[in-house]
Amino acid sequence: MTATTSPLWPALLPPDSHGSDELCTVSAKGVRVRFADGRELLCGTSGLWNSHLGYGNAAIAEASANALREASYLNVFRYENVYAREAAAALVKLCGSEHYGRVIFSTSGGAANDAMTKVTRQYHALSGAPQRKIVIGLQGSYHGLTFGGFALTGEDLGQRMYGVDQRLTRHVPPNEPEELERLLSRLGGQVAAIVVEPVLGSGAIPLTEDYVAALLRLRREHGFLLVADEVATGFCRTGPFFATEEWPEPPDLLITSKGLTNGTCAAAAVVVSHQVASAFTTAGSVLAHGETQAGTPVMCAAILATIEEMRRLDAEGMSRRLSALLDTELAALESDHPLVTETTGKGCFRAIRLRTPEGISLPPAEVPAVVTAIRRAGAIVHPGLNGVQLFPALTYTEANLRELMECVRKGLSAHAAQAVGA
């Protein structure tokens, strides 16, 4: 099928690549993906960073199938269901029931960020501060492509062209508390929330301990809510179940998605602190948010099975062991490959920054060609800022990781040779 006749309109793929069998997947098992052109490739991205335990986990598949057979479709739109009750209780326990008390189910990280924005603004209205509507995010952050999440996303991805309303959002540089303090000195009484990724998804840039400490101090001083978008970092991607477990104090709201069901279905959740939830309960106030597929039996069964499987397999231990191997492999790549300028990230959430053969930082327009070269060398990687990103499944063996790095090296060399020849 050619690009001009393919009825499928895939996301973030240029039209001249639509309909390509080289980019059409047909099956996946473990850490490998088979494509329509017959090739089987090593996956270095865990899908879209979400299949932490690899593809085809039997326990999660069986739990999902049982829920579909026994309950088919039930919802949490003006109703409850027992699956959602159980999954919400499990998430509160996982995140820490001494601090968190309620869960709002959603279907994607972007939609969950939309819900979060509503919660923070309504919380302040209920608390007697309706003027608090501004939400601050970080430059270079990614919070989704729905209109609310898109407004908060700190990359220029066409927000102005699409008419995204960003009048009530602001963005500051990551890891620069002085810039945030200056903004809060002007707008502190109008700020509803500050939303941060513990590791910025686009650049794999971890927040420093000093910056986190500043966020916590400024929260006490200015009264905003602190939100951790753990869509990418949650479920042991950086070591612990959630990256914020390593913060001195927890956020007021925590957003989780990608690893929540091991990538098996559309799922996300906003985990809400007792303090925030109690404002709604005390006032008897209804949150105006709902999604047709949020909190369904299949979603919630997959969540419960994923949590159980991660505990059974010691996902935290797997993550830390793989992270240590990545430290070694990436340090070697950085020291001996002429196109690599630096590696960034944390845990199993890494980025490789590149230069051209001429020594300049790799232009964003060349990143897709590098991804393609590595794919043709045998592995799937994700595009990043001036380079590529790696999100291997926690179930990777040492041999899998060596294979991934060999494919990266071959792909980089092939791209460099092609660039020089051109």
Q: Which residue bears the tokens 């739109």?
A: 77
Tell me the domains of the chain and their CATH numbers. 15-53+314-421 (3.90.1150.10), 58-312 (3.40.640.10)
pLDDT at position 3, please?
Answer: 47
Q: Which pLDDT tens digit goes with each residue over 1-12? A: 444 578 999 999
Provide the β-strand partners of residue 103.
271
Q: Which pLDDT tens digit goes with each residue over 356-384? A: 988 899 999 999 999 999 999 999 999 99
Give dist(CA 193, CA 196) in Å, integer. Answer: 10
Q: How is residue 397 written in tokens?
A: 């063996």
On average, the pLDDT of the chain sits at: 96
- Percentages (nearest 5) of helix, strand, coil residues in the chain: 45, 20, 35
Nearest to 118 by CA among 161, 148, 155: 148
| Percent of all residues in the chain with a pLDDT value above 70, rounded to a whole number | 98
Residue 325 in contact with residue 395, Cβ under 8 Å? no
Write a three-state SS string for 140-190: CCCCCCCHHHHHHCCCCCCHHHHCCCCCCEEEECCCCHHHHHHHHHHHHHH
pLDDT at position 4, please?
Answer: 54
Whether the predicted pLDDT of 339 surpasses 70: yes
Q: What is the mean pLDDT of the segment spanning 390-402?
A: 98
Q: What is the DSSP string of 230-298?
A: -TTTTTTTSSSSSGGGGSSS--SEEEE-GGGGTTSS--EEEEEEHHHHHHHHHHTPPP----TTTT-HH
Whether the predicted pLDDT of 112 surpasses 60: yes
Q: Which pLDDT tens digit goes with each residue over 283-299? A: 999 999 999 999 999 99
Q: Is the pTM of this model over 0.85?
A: yes
pLDDT at position 191, please?
Answer: 98
Q: Which pLDDT tens digit goes with each residue over 187-246? A: 989 999 999 999 998 889 999 999 999 999 999 999 999 999 999 999 999 999 999 999
- How many whole angstroms from its chain centre is CA 365? 23
Q: Helices 109-126 & 274-283, crossing angle to 10 degrees?
A: 60
Q: Which pLDDT tens digit goes with each residue over 7-33? A: 999 999 999 999 999 999 999 999 999
Question: For the CA atoms of 138, 143, 149, 152, what is the dihedral angle to 10 degrees?
Answer: 10
- How many whole angstroms from its chain centre is CA 112? 12
Q: Which pLDDT tens digit goes with each residue over 147-179? A: 999 999 999 999 999 999 999 999 999 999 999
Q: Which pLDDT tens digit goes with each residue over 413-422? A: 999 888 766 5
